[in-house]
Amino acid sequence: MTDFYQDKKVLLAVTGGIAAYKAAEITRSLIKAGAAVRVVMTDAAQEFIPAKTLAILSKAAVLTDQSWQKASAAVDHVHLAQWADLIIVAPATANSLAKLSLGLADNALTTTVMASQAPKVAVPAMNNQMWENAAVQSNVQQLTTDGWTFVGPATGFLAEGYEGKGRMVEPAEILASVAEQLARSVDAVTATQSLAGKHVVVTAGGTKEAIDPVRYLTNRSSGKMGYALAEAALAAGAKVTLVAATDRPVSAGIKVIAASSTQEMLAAVVANMDHADVFIGAAAVSDFRVAEIADHKVKKQGDEHMVLDLVQNPDILKTVGQAKKPGQVVVGFAAETENLIPNARKKLQSKHADLIVANNVLDDKAGFNKDTNQVTLVANNHEPIAVEAKLKTELAEDIIAAVAALLTSGQVVV
């Protein structure tokens, strides 16, 4: 992200939702990253944050309906539209998404956005029930078809006072996701659609096994690798279903199924494998779960020890591997601390997989919650292929290339 915004001209379009107050932080962050920022905002947005605040931060006049309606500024929206290298609509309310998807130009913001040929990004923010509404999803799909990039929404605490999916992604994550997605989309223009017409199912994140209503067992996985694989598969032309135990921003073209526990994840995977061509098990799945989940918070009993009765979880990779159909490719991950290649080969055979992506989690450039990884690809009848340390987003492209080669030739090529 460091260089992505350098010398870019970014138009921040602010619509009228409670998350509009975060426009100040987005503006500051963009400028700090090297961008020149201009702002256009709706009347409703000004009820949450004054135009003067954003004018001071951006060091430029803010285009509003009031200023746009003046005769001397009647074509300001055209100049601003031509000036922009990138447009970010944040927050993007349900109402603004509807207008933009239908081509309605009834205020300074929608008119400016529609007059621009720059790449456009929407950062949705609304109540979870509004986000899930069929009309809103139809508008999102239309904008995606029109070339828009979506960041979020995230799952979190909503203005209504409860948890749900609809919260605007935090500014730092917006900038990182926009940079990552748009950089990838530029590469994808010239990339071969090696998975066009294929359906790829990916798992991501660390599963959570409840102990009681408050506590759970989990692991260190961030889900970064799984999400990167889903994005890379989408860029390669695949239909992508992501079964995720963690919530991160993702392209609107990816179908996301939330699955907290191992059993939930297995059910979602099995339900989608009938018509899938590829399974990539990148999730860090809990090997064990609590035998009986307490229906109330377990209190300390005065002694120093608490014993949990654990039972073995189903093996998702093995279940998929044993049930795979001719032509399907099954990919697993092996997070090891020793004997990397022997353990990966053993897993390849016992899980009936076609490819194992093995890494040593003790390596400085590999492991959980890092942006980089260093892996070795282990396949049947093939010498292991060591892949140098690189960003997980770049590594994901290598793995997807290997998957595409397995589908077409049965050989691993990176």
pLDDT per residue as tens digits for the range 17-45: 999 999 999 999 999 999 999 999 999 99
pLDDT category at 76 given cuts 50, 70, 90 is low
Do residues 161 and 268 share a domain?
no
In a domain, 200, yes or no: yes
pLDDT per residue as tens digits for the range 99-127: 999 999 889 999 999 988 888 999 999 98
Q: What sign for the dihedral angle of Cα 244, 250, 254, 256?
A: positive
Count CB atoms within 10 A of the CB of residue 223. 23
Do residues 141 and 231 share a domain?
no
Tell me how long the chain is: 414
Q: What pLDDT, on a 0 to 100 scale, did the predictor assign at position 40?
A: 95
In a domain, 257, yes or no: yes
Do residues 220 and 349 share a domain?
yes
Do residues 13 and 131 share a domain?
yes
Do residues 221 and 329 share a domain?
yes
Do residues 224 and 164 share a domain?
no
Read off the pTM.
0.60
Asked if 393 and 387 count as a contact pair (C-beta separation under 8 A), the reply is no
Average pLDDT over residues 400-414: 81
Do residues 363 and 248 share a domain?
yes
Per annotation, catalytic residue among 95, 219, 272, 343:
219
Based on the structure, what is the number of domains in the chain?
2
Do residues 291 and 355 share a domain?
yes
Average pLDDT over residues 147-175: 83
Phi, psi of 154, deg, nearest 5: -100, 165
Residue 287 is assigned to a ligand binding site: yes
In a domain, 223, yes or no: yes
Q: Which domain holds residue 177?
A: 9-186
Asked if 281 and 329 count as a contact pair (C-beta separation under 8 A), the reply is no
The residue among 167, 186, 205 that closes a domain is: 186
Do residues 147 and 245 share a domain?
no
Do residues 145 and 228 share a domain?
no
313 noted as active-site residue: no
Helix (H) or strand (E) holding 82: helix 76-83
Q: What sign for the dihedral angle of Cα 108, 109, 113, 119?
A: positive
Residue 297 is assigned to a ligand binding site: yes
Residue 315 is assigned to a ligand binding site: yes
Do residues 277 and 388 share a domain?
yes
Residue 316 is assigned to a ligand binding site: yes
In a domain, 2, yes or no: no
Asked if 200 and 232 count as a contact pair (C-beta separation under 8 A), the reply is no
Do residues 201 and 59 share a domain?
no
Q: What pLDDT, on a 0 to 100 scale, did the predictor assign at position 257?
A: 95
